[in-house]
Amino acid sequence: MPLTLATTFILVHDPDAALGFYRDALGLEVRMDVSSEGFRWVTVGAPGQDVSIVLSQPHGGRTQVEGDELLSLVTRGTFQAAIFRTDDLDATFEKVKASGAEILEEPTNQPWGVRDCAVRDPSGNLVRIQASAQ
């Protein structure tokens, strides 16, 4: 079997705020929610897609110094990004916008051929959502 992606990680400062975005606005399903030592690891994924995203806190399982540095990078908006794909970009965008997410770019036909929008998750991570190819 060829190699496939199983799990990837997104650092978030607040798991509940992250659920408001990734579960309630984007529509991902929650597959696991583990608490340990005061931190949470929430596994989400797109229904029907066998790829998991673990939403975890910068300080979970790390030293204070490491956690502080990661949280600072996430908050400054320079650390990581994710690109999602959907059949109905405009409806998804309206839902994300209504959730109060910061909007970076409304749905736009990009010169390289895709239509997408850009927002920030509640922690400051860049999230782009693109329309599936018709």
Listing DSSP states for 73-92 in one string gives HHHHT-S-EEEEEES-HHHH
Q: Provide, rounded to whole angstroms, the least separation between the CB of residue 95 and another protein.
A: 20
Q: Provide, rounded to whole angstroms, the least separation between the CB of residue 32 and another protein.
A: 27
> 52 or 75: whose CB is closer to another protein?
75
Q: Provide, rounded to whole angstroms, the least separation between the CB of residue 15 and another protein.
A: 16
Burial 16-27 (b: 16+ CB within 10 A, else e): eebbbbbeebbe
* Measured distance CA(12)–CA(44) in Å, rounded: 13
CA-nearest of 113, 106, 105 to 133 is 113
Structure tokens at 26: 């984007």
Binding site for another protein (CB under 8 A): 13, 68-69, 71-72, 75-77, 81, 102, 104-105, 110-112, 114, 118, 120, 124, 126, 128
> 38 or 111: whose CB is closer to another protein?
111
* Sequence letter at residue 43: T
* Measured distance CA(101)–CA(69) in Å, rounded: 24
Q: Provide, rounded to whole angstroms, the least separation between the CB of residue 121 and another protein.
A: 12
> 27 or 67: whose CB is closer to another protein?
67
> 46 or 81: whose CB is closer to another protein?
81
